[in-house]
Structure 1
């Protein structure tokens, strides 16, 4: 059977977005763009409903639609009646009556049980959503064929069972509607429920006293202290679940399944390069700027043959330290200090001043990455905007500042692009965020070494980056931290992890995201990449009812053909032997 590439359109009505922005409403629905580009999934971005229903697209993700105009509802209904598929995420309430359903008001936060693969302690945490239930009576369409899957447990809701997903037959097509606003939920898990303007709520057990009078990244977290933490073997609580990554998996699995069900394939890229079983990262913060501690760190790193990323706090080390670090393959970046008690401040001008200082002191022409001292953080997107303005492609500031919220505090182990606030029209920043899991494993009262294996196993399961933060000064002064560092390296290597620098992470994200798919002829798929680098593993899902010629691998529950793209790949989907051909590669930054 010949595979046909799914024609995917994303409906994001610009007029609706403008109206919301004018009324002070964030439009995080557009984050679906990042979800698609992270996996190099081919799609078209559509500003108007007329484009979406033109017949050019097999599947339309209706992420932002004005529900009020009847013409919009009728256009989508006509599209589905003609065989099109519409996917919604907690939206499209204007179509509920036509479908024979009624939206249900409930608390925005809660837990969803989707496919039985949720963590044992809880379902998947969500932060935005609106469920539909079957309704009858005047104005409701009767006897429409539908199937419901999963369930929601909104916080404080005591009504009947709410489905997580409904699939509704509409003529020759159908509506696939999630009760959860998945893009919005992922954004709020990763970046918080709103701007950081005050202290966060501390944990009742005293392990995470966020109310310390210091604004920082974890003041904006949305995790639940009771439901979202487990305990390490040594009894330390930690944030156990990368919910945002789990939602990405459910989102991708559903799209692939919907396409496969109508005889189409929706290819996607793996998050790890060919031949890599896991990626780990070590970053250092130069607090106290003790030269002896820097030399100690260099010696330990040399013994382990691990390259790392060093965040330098003003006034920094002596110049020879930077030269030695670079000679050993380490990278040098900024440790932005906004601590008022140390003469810093949270401002665009201060950030730019410290960037200029760093380039002069470290002898660098550009800054490859930044991490904020004490994880200082204010507002929503100031930091990412400043990084972008100063040409910094990667930030590492989103991580725990307290021992009781180490782990997956922001629901993810994957590098991601943050979304801006409405002042920047909720655009995606050209900056990667790579959060860290914990500081200084082994440090008394802080880094519990018994968590290392738990962190590594979970990161590997979501194909993310296991990022551990250390301070050079503790490698010099604290034997327990040296042992913790040794444990991190040895356990990670034993599990097949490779240690990457920040520059390698940026380069890999650029490479994977540069893939461009096309279908030049029936049964033939072509993919090109614009950026050179490691081999990109791509999966071509086998449509339902199709015979796979050759071996398949299961990804997210679906049989897929696996192949590797080095430069250009032309794939005959009727035969399993792809032919690699050469093409020009160009460099770019994310």
Structure 2
């Protein structure tokens, strides 16, 4: 391989330093997280290297701070504030006081409890819609349980779609310049999207927990079981949760109802130790905050990083009118820290939450909207249930079984948060390179993985791959893999499906379906 990536990100260290000196965020640094999640191979270069790199050919330059994509075929502009918009939607604004409620009464977030959705950046008026087939609200929504009717919901993953707008421009620029761009599918080859179910142990009622275990067995789903301080289940119930294949996790409580149930690093550390002792598991990977509690902007992620929590799933709705995608995403991502930490990547994955307790805290009409958007964007749909409702409310238990079956019907697999964390971190260790092979119409693909990845879907945006191409045209000439033409994000791509061992694997495929 040439050793030159098809994409180069132009980052000016002086521009970054100047922004931080003014106590301003260098939002454009987030461009590398967008590319890293896709696993597009790229190099970071200084501005004075850009001209030579462009002249050498074979590279698309991204100037994230300026909003420009430059290739040998020309230049394309995009909004320079794109990165700020993505991060602000996903991470919200700093939570220091109650947020404003929705005018229609569907989101009474001004409840005196600081939480994630007090920092919403999306608009109640412009970014929500009624679920399909549900009547528009007439008058003020009555926020009661179960909901008397469907409320407007955040029906689109706005941050994900902004990312996708940029990626389409990048792929279009590469296509125009005749540059093949490889990347890595978010999930195993052939899996369009995944689903995740979590459970919160509020109240720690052991009989309710046993009922929940039966419902999850009937649904055929292993859940991430978040344990809430104080108290805990009977020891035999805790053991049974693990025995049935569920993940033991933390449900950090900062609601002020116990001695260490308040907001702060010492309290999180103490509750983490409590969860370790109660579950007998030293390595607690995942957390969700009770009542989606949140304060400030980045400090909770920094605490998680410090203590060893590797994936957090707190950021989601607490009210019926902000279910769906209130933080604009159905994808795993690493958040960025503020100016004090120089906008570095925080080593804690963020797993968005989309709704709580269908048929109780969320109207059942929202289910398919969430599943469809996650499927369209190849993301992960996250549904939360509580044993207290599964135990006492047959409609909630049935909604749990139904969403499990519907996701599977759509081809989505159910994964725990720990599985999601392990997969995403493993795929982040994969680097893909593609270049023309020795023969006409051949493509040589080199994949280097820091850890084994089973069933990886290596994708290549091959210039000229036509809509009319069929999956039977490409063939693998060397290497243990299969290949086909697939559609991802609305684009026709070559997909190489292979079990990747740690180390370097080389494949040669034909791409004879390209147009001339």
Q: Which interval holds the TM-score relative to the shorter structure?
A: 0.7 to 0.9
Deviations 1:111-147 (A, max 9, x none): xxxxxxxxxxxxxxxxxxxxxxxxxxxxxxxxxxxxx
The residue that corresponds to 1:63 in the other structure is: 64
Q: Does 1:324 align with 2:325?
A: no
The residue that corresponds to 1:14 in the other structure is: 13
Q: Does 1:33 align with 2:49?
A: no
Give the direction of change, closer, same or farther, for the CA distance of 1:319–1:559 in structure 2 (3 Å limit).
same
The residue that corresponds to 1:309 in the other structure is: 224
The residue that corresponds to 2:397 in the other structure is: 482
1:360 to 273, 277, 288: 277
Gaps of 5+ in 2: 135-148, 438-442, 475-483
Tell me how far 1:337 sits from its aligned partner: 0.9
Tell me how far 1:396 sits from its aligned partner: 0.6
Distance 1:181 1:573 in 2: 39
Distance 2:494 2:404 in 1: 34
Q: Does 1:570 align with 2:496?
A: no
Distance 1:254 1:471 in 2: 42
Tell me how far 1:241 sits from its aligned partner: 0.9
The residue that corresponds to 2:331 in the other structure is: 414
Give the direction of change, closer, same or farther, for the CA distance of 1:525–1:303 in structure 2 (3 Å limit).
closer
Tell me how far 1:240 sits from its aligned partner: 0.8
The residue that corresponds to 1:561 in the other structure is: 494
Structure 1 residues 196-235: aligned runs within 5 Å: 196-232=95-131, 233=134, 234-235=149-150
Tell me how far 1:305 sits from its aligned partner: 2.2
Q: Secondary structure at the match of 1:281?
A: strand
Q: Does 1:284 align with 2:184?
A: no
Give the direction of change, closer, same or farther, for the CA distance of 1:50–1:205 in structure 2 (3 Å limit).
same
Distance 1:229 1:205 in 2: 12
Contact 2:181–2:462 (CA under 8 A) maintained in structure 1: no
Contact 2:249–2:286 (CA under 8 A) maintained in structure 1: yes
Contact 2:220–2:404 (CA under 8 A) maintained in structure 1: no
Tell me how far 1:271 sits from its aligned partner: 1.6
The residue that corresponds to 1:123 in the other structure is: none
Distance 1:502 1:451 in 2: 22
Deviations 1:64-123 (A, max 9, x none): 3xxxxxxxxxxxxxxxxxxxxxxx42xx7xxxxxxxxxxxxxxxxxxxxxxxxxxxxxxx
Tell me how far 1:490 sits from its aligned partner: 2.4
Tell me how far 1:174 sits from its aligned partner: 3.2
The residue that corresponds to 2:357 in the other structure is: 440
Contact 1:510–1:531 (CA under 8 A) maintained in structure 2: no
Q: Does 1:491 align with 2:406?
A: yes
Distance 2:183 2:64 in 1: 20
Give the direction of change, closer, same or farther, for the CA distance of 1:571–1:26 in structure 2 (3 Å limit).
same
1:179 to 73, 79, 89: 79
Structure 1 residues 139-178: aligned runs within 5 Å: 174-178=74-78
The residue that corresponds to 2:445 in the other structure is: 525
Contact 1:286–1:311 (CA under 8 A) maintained in structure 2: yes
Distance 2:104 2:491 in 1: 43
Contact 1:198–1:219 (CA under 8 A) maintained in structure 2: yes
Give the direction of change, closer, same or farther, for the CA distance of 1:479–1:575 in structure 2 (3 Å limit).
closer
Q: Secondary structure at the match of 2:453?
A: coil
Distance 1:464 1:454 in 2: 13
Tell me how far 1:180 sits from its aligned partner: 4.9
Distance 1:459 1:541 in 2: 22
Give the direction of change, closer, same or farther, for the CA distance of 1:461–1:519 in structure 2 (3 Å limit).
closer
Contact 1:3–1:263 (CA under 8 A) maintained in structure 2: no
Give the direction of change, closer, same or farther, for the CA distance of 1:325–1:426 in structure 2 (3 Å limit).
same
Distance 2:34 2:337 in 1: 15
Give the direction of change, closer, same or farther, for the CA distance of 1:275–1:518 in structure 2 (3 Å limit).
closer
Structure 1 residues 363-374: aligned runs within 5 Å: 363-374=280-291
> Root-mean-square deviation (CA), in Å?
2.6
Contact 1:277–1:496 (CA under 8 A) maintained in structure 2: yes
Tell me how far 1:168 sits from its aligned partner: 9.1
Give TM-score scaled by structure 2 length: 0.85
Contact 1:289–1:313 (CA under 8 A) maintained in structure 2: yes
1:515 to 423, 430, 438: 430
Distance 1:364 1:574 in 2: 49
Q: Secondary structure at the match of 1:526?
A: strand
Distance 1:460 1:184 in 2: 26
Contact 2:73–2:173 (CA under 8 A) maintained in structure 1: no
Q: Does 1:403 align with 2:303?
A: no
Give the direction of change, closer, same or farther, for the CA distance of 1:571–1:298 in structure 2 (3 Å limit).
same
Tell me how far 1:4 sits from its aligned partner: 11
Deviations 1:232-261 (A, max 9, x none): 335322111111111222211211110111
Which protein has the larger Cα radius of gyration, Structure 1 or Structure 2?
1
Gaps of 5+ in 1: 65-87, 93-166, 578-590
Contact 2:95–2:119 (CA under 8 A) maintained in structure 1: yes
Bigger relative contact order, structure 1 or 2 (CA pairs below 8 A, ≥6 apart): 2
Distance 2:78 2:39 in 1: 23
Give the direction of change, closer, same or farther, for the CA distance of 1:4–1:417 in structure 2 (3 Å limit).
closer
